[in-house]
Every structure is written in structure tokens, then in C-alpha cells.
């Protein structure tokens, strides 16, 4: 294992590590989706950078955190945070303590703003260690049957109707020209609106995969051409869903 060191006068201090901690995607047995090695590292930590404290505490209790929950230190970083002044998050690392970054669901720094934290860690020469766990984007790509040798995750599409339809056309074009699977998401209560837009705009032979409740009891992953989706309404309303497009 690599050791990062910082020099304070004549004393050599071993810096803590920044661990990127995956969280669960759905209720259920945590050991089904988080490796024992990841759980062991989580249990030994006392400092966390989190999106929301309540969710983080619930997850850490489920993961069997060793320290009493009230002894843990939480720093909050989410979409409302500013990029400046992140240094103070890292003061525990300079005192030799490791820090965990936790996302609301799935792996941190993918489909969330956590990358800014990691970028700062690299600037400060703090070692960054990503831990294995479930990612709905990666799991849905695996299970879609679409091109996994060339793919893009593009986040959210615009919510305004005309902009969204225009963007769907662009995405479908990119899919064809670059032979690239296109992956995107929507706020769950708008899933059906996005579905309707895709079905009305895309070529009937374009393939659409809807991956819902990944790793949950009601996991459902279906890949069909648009012409088939035109005849059936998927059960995705207010359910976490990944949308994937690829050519037929």
C-alpha cells in the first residue's frame, strides 16, 4: 500500500486517504451488493464527506460502523455547495485520519458533484482510493445488451418539451454516427414524460432499454425496439430508472 507523507517541520506525518464509498441502490441485504473488504474499510472510518447527513447515518449503521454514530464527523457537500473553500474538509487527512466520501445512492463522483472533492484531494496530494460497489449506470449497461465497448452517460436531458425533443434527436444521431450506447436519467416523477418523448421522436427500429429498481426486489430490465415500446406502457412512474438507447 502506498503511503502519502507530509512534512511539518522535522516531524513526518502520514496523511490519511480519501476513500470513495459506494452506497446501496435499493433496500435489502447490504452484503449482497457491498464487498466485505469495502465494509471493513467503512467500519473503521470516523470522518465523512456526505450529501445528506440523515441518509449517510442510516447507511453507516446498516454497514456496521464501529464508532458510536454521535462520535462521527460529517462534512456536507452537495449540489448547493460551492467549489471554493473545500480545503477544510481535508484537515483530518493532514492529521493522519482517513476520510470517506459517500453518495446518496450508488458510487460517489458518478452522476453527482463529488468529483470536485476528489480533484481537490489530488491537488493536495492526498491518496484517493475508489471502493467497489453497485452503480445503476454500469449495471444497466451490462444488462442492456447494448454496446459496452463504446458508451456515454450524459446525465439529464432538458425538461422543456421542444428542447428535450431536439436533444433526443441529437442523442439518437450520436448513437448512430459514433456507434455509441447513450445512457441518461430523469427525475423519477418525470420518467413517463421522457419515455413518451423518446417513443414519439426516435426511429421505430432504435432500441430502448429501461432498467428499473436495479439490485432491488423489483429489478426489471427490458430492451426492446421503439416500435414494440409503442404498444406497451412501462411501469416506471416514480421508480428509479436508467434509460439507454442503441441502434437495432
Give the footprint of a second copy on this chain (CB under 8 A): 1-2, 20, 29, 31-38, 107-122, 128-130, 132-135, 138-155, 180, 214-215, 217, 219-224
Q: Among residues 20 and 199, whose Cβ is nearest to a second copy? A: 20
Is residue 183 helix, strand or coil?
A: strand
Q: Among residues 2 and 82, whose Cβ is nearest to a second copy? A: 2
Q: How far is the CB of 154 from a second copy (least distance, A)?
A: 6
Q: Among residues 179 and 200, whose Cβ is nearest to a second copy? A: 179
Nearest to 130 by CA among 92, 154, 100, 97: 100
Q: How far is the CB of 146 from a second copy (least distance, A)?
A: 6
Return the residue matching grid coordinates 430508472: 241
Q: How far is the CB of 194 from a second copy (least distance, A)?
A: 17
Q: Are strands 128-130 and 99-102 parallel, antiparallel or unpaired?
A: unpaired
Burial 194-226 (b: 16+ CB within 10 A, else e): bbebbbebbeeebbbbbbbbbbeeeeebbbebb
Nearest to 59 by CA among 47, 42, 73: 42
Q: How far is the CB of 71 from a second copy (least distance, A)?
A: 26
Residues linked to residue 14 through DSSP beta bridges, in sequence order: 5
> What are the helix (H) ranges across the chain?
36-43, 53-62, 91-94, 115-123, 136-144, 161-177, 191-201, 226-229
Q: Among residues 131 and 198, whose Cβ is nearest to a second copy? A: 131
Q: Among residues 200 and 230, whose Cβ is nearest to a second copy? A: 230
Q: Among residues 78 and 200, whose Cβ is nearest to a second copy? A: 78
Taking phi over 0 as left and psi of -120 to 50 as alpha, with beta for the rest, 71 belongs to: alpha
Q: How far is the CB of 209 from a second copy (least distance, A)?
A: 8
What is the per-residue DSSP string for 88-123? GGGHHHHTT--EEEE-SSSSTTSSSTTHHHHHHHHH
Q: How far is the CB of 171 from a second copy (least distance, A)?
A: 11
Q: Which three cell numbers stand for residue 65?
A: 460502523
Q: Which three cell numbers stand for residue 117?
A: 472533492
Q: Among residues 14 and 69, whose Cβ is nearest to a second copy? A: 14
Q: How far is the CB of 140 from a second copy (least distance, A)?
A: 7
Is residue 75 helix, strand or coil?
A: strand
Amino acid at each position: 500500500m502506498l503511503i502519502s507523507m507530509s512534512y511539518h517541520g522535522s516531524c513526518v506525518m502520514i496523511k490519511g486517504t480519501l476513500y470513495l464509498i459506494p452506497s446501496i441502490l435499493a433496500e435489502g441485504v447490504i452484503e449482497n451488493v457491498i464487498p466485505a473488504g469495502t465494509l471493513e474499510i467503512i467500519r473503521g472510518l470516523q470522518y465523512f464527506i456526505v450529501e445528506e447527513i440523515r441518509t449517510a447515518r442510516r447507511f453507516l449503521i446498516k454497514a456496521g460502523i464501529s464508532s458510536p454514530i454521535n462520535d462521527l464527523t460529517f462534512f456536507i457537500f452537495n449540489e448547493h455547495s460551492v467549489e471554493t473553500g473545500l480545503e477544510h474538509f481535508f484537515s483530518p487527512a493532514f492529521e493522519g485520519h482517513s476520510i470517506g466520501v459517500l453518495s446518496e445512492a450508488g458510487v460517489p463522483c458518478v452522476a453527482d458533484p463529488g468529483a470536485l472533492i476528489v480533484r481537490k484531494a489530488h491537488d493536495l496530494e492526498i491518496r484517493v482510493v475508489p471502493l467497489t460497489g453497485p452503480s445503476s449506470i454500469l449495471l444497466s449497461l451490462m444488462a442492456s445488451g447494448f454496446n459496452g465497448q463504446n458508451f456515454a452517460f450524459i446525465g439529464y436531458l432538458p425538461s422543456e418539451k421542444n428542447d428535450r425533443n431536439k436533444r433526443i434527436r441529437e442523442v439518437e444521431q450520436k448513437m448512430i454516427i459514433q456507434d455509441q450506447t447513450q445512457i441518461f436519467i430523469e427525475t423519477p416523477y418525470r420518467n413517463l414524460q421522457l419515455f413518451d418523448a423518446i417513443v414519439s421522436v426516435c426511429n421505430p427500429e432504435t432500441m430502448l432499454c429501461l432498467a428499473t429498481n436495479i439490485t432491488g426486489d423489483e429489478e426489471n430490465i427490458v430492451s426492446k425496439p421503439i416500435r414494440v415500446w409503442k404498444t406497451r406502457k412501462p411501469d416506471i412512474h416514480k421508480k428509479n430508472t436508467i434509460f439507454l438507447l442503441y441502434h437495432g
